[in-house]
Amino acid sequence: MSDLSLSPTLAALTPGTWTVDSGHSTVAFSVRHLMVAKVRGRFTDFEGTITVAGDPLQSRLDAVVRTASVNTDDEGRDAHLRNADFLDSEQFPEMRLTSTAITSKGDDFVLAADLTIKGVTRPVDFALEFAGVVTDPWGNTKAGFTAEATINRKDWGLEWNVALEAGGVLVGEKVTITLEIEALKG
């Protein structure tokens, strides 16, 4: 059993199934463009469940993100991200995230997970923040989480790029993934 005294708010997570509320959650990413700025995007079609165990550190997250829902507010770029150079949404319509462990060090948590993109599954460690549990005005119990990780897109076969005359490349290799999750109990 874990020592919940290190983070007393974690004890507010009652065991059972929590569903990711996609209307109040975000699956986002950012990546360097031209080596001088960041492009931000999000996926608008996703779902997930969090199965909270008696010991919250033994809990499990399973999530699916539909790759065709990528949105960077630029239709041309979004179409390129959906094609075979990047996500290949036709052949790989879903990305998956499945937790493998949750660990704590004081008030800091790490969500270890397997991330599958384009049929390639690799481990990723997310810095995990638990925001707490509340009851909304309609009597629903909700929990909030933020998780963030930086990956190298090439590890998942997302290799496309263009070299710049001044040096560097068009698209950075490091992608920061940010999950803002509001989950509904029951």
CATH number at residue 24: 2.40.128.110
Which pLDDT does position 56 carry in this prediction? 86
Range of the domain at 126: 14-185
Lowest mean pLDDT segment, chosen from 4-8, 10-14, 22-26, 94-98:
4-8
Residue 95 counted as domain residue: yes
Domain count, the chain: 1
Output phi, psi for 180, to 5 deg: -110, 110
Averaged pLDDT score across all residues of the chain = 88
Residue 179 counted as domain residue: yes
**pLDDT per position as a tens digit, 81-111:** 999 988 999 999 999 999 999 998 777 899 9
Residue 72 counted as domain residue: yes
Cβ-contact 39, 31 below 8 angstroms = yes
**Average pLDDT of the segment spanning 128-134:** 92
Residue 5 counted as domain residue: no
Which pLDDT does position 8 carry in this prediction? 39
pLDDT band of residue 171 (cuts 50, 70, 90) is low
Which pLDDT does position 158 carry in this prediction? 72
Residue 84 counted as domain residue: yes
**Average pLDDT of the segment spanning 18-42:** 88
**Average pLDDT of the segment spanning 143-163:** 84
**pLDDT per position as a tens digit, 44-81:** 999 999 999 998 889 999 999 999 999 999 999 899 89
Residue 87 counted as domain residue: yes
Residue 135 counted as domain residue: yes
Q: CB neighbours (10 Å) of residue 125?
A: 16
Give burial (CB, 10 Å; 0-12/13-18/19+) of 147. Answer: buried
Residue 4 counted as domain residue: no
